[in-house]
Amino acid sequence: MQKRTLGKSGLEVSALGLGCMGMTWAYGAPGDHAELVALIRHAVEIDVTFFDTAEVYGPLTNEELVGEALAPLRDRVKIATKFGFALDPQSGRPVGLNSKPAHIKEVADASLKRLRTDHIDLLYQHRVDPNVPIEDVAGAVADLVKAGKVKHFGLSEAGAATIRRAHAVHPVAAVQSEYSLWTHGPEKEVLPTLEELGIGFVPYSPLGRGFLAGTFSADTQFADDDWRKTNPRFQADALRKNAPLVDSLKAIADEKGATPAQIALAWLLAQKPWIVPIPGTTKRTRLEENIKAADIALTPADLKAIETAVASHAVAGDRYDERGMAMVNL
């Protein structure tokens, strides 16, 4: 697979990474551990070099999975993880935000142990903490960089002003936010800011949490432990209203001899050379399907057709509930 560099950071990764969150968290019961280890290692064999995890996924168990899978292959990959949540000591569940410098350093040390490595290639602040100045956050990560524990600093779901303030203290290598054919929020302010400053962009949920792959309908029943069960965009009425978007994408994909998921990923890759999507999956067939999107060259006519189709379908439902929306783009 072709490689891409995240902005001016020098952090070179595969054009498509692998988001590992759904392997242990958010989308139902975790999969078979041995099969997931094999899946991650297979990703490396087919040239994926960028893997995304976080302390809060699981919580903790996702980093352990990624660490176990990649330990024998560590010199061939880049690992990104995140800090920024306070976890309940009893349940382990997130109970709020915490980006105090001392906490950041504690989390980084714990993540290093779970990941079975001596350095984190890209450490993101998972969500902006309004109670801690972003300058203090950047300073704490700068200390970790000086100590050799972290190579690059990133932000997730941060707004343009926050990105500028952080970057002034320590270079931000990449920003990770939701971006796809049904989530265009970063286009107005964030992407122009990143281009100006030379910062890379990592779209998460590039397939709309599976929706853009055409796998759901208004009749889909989500398990009680699947986060989408209560997500506004995955309610039956919203799925019904959003279905025409996927139908349009399928028509374009058929003309290209591709799948809707591949077209959605190829569209993202065509936006900027410093964009690296991280689709997630627990299935080898889906992994291989997604990776082939890097080989699809979309013409200007293709891009216009895709964007015209998207523009004709208003997306129903917020991407998070009220609490989740309060923690993005700060």
Which residues are known catalytic residues? 57
Asked whether 26 and 60 are in contact (CB, 8 A), the reply is no
In angstroms and rounded to an integer, the radius of gyration of the C-alpha atoms of the chain is 19
Asked whether 45 and 197 are in contact (CB, 8 A), the reply is no
Question: In the structure encoding, which two tokens stand for residue 183, read together?
Answer: 């989530």
Distances (CA, A) of 7 to 70, 160, 174, 192: 25, 16, 7, 12
d(C-alpha 268, C-alpha 15), whole Å: 11
Largest CA distance in the chain: 55
List for the chain the helix, strand, coil content (%; round to 5): 45, 15, 35
Tokens 């010199």 label which residue? 75
Q: What does DSSP say about strands 94-97 and 85-87: parallel, antiparallel, or unpaired?
A: antiparallel
Residues 6+ apart with CB under 8 A from 163: 155, 172, 175, 190, 193, 194, 197, 199
Q: Is the dihedral of CA 183, 188, 191, 194 positive or negative?
A: negative
Q: Where are the beta strands (DSSP E) in the chain?
A: 3-5, 12-14, 18-19, 50-52, 78-83, 85-87, 94-97, 122-125, 153-156, 172-178, 200-204
d(C-alpha 19, C-alpha 27), whole Å: 13
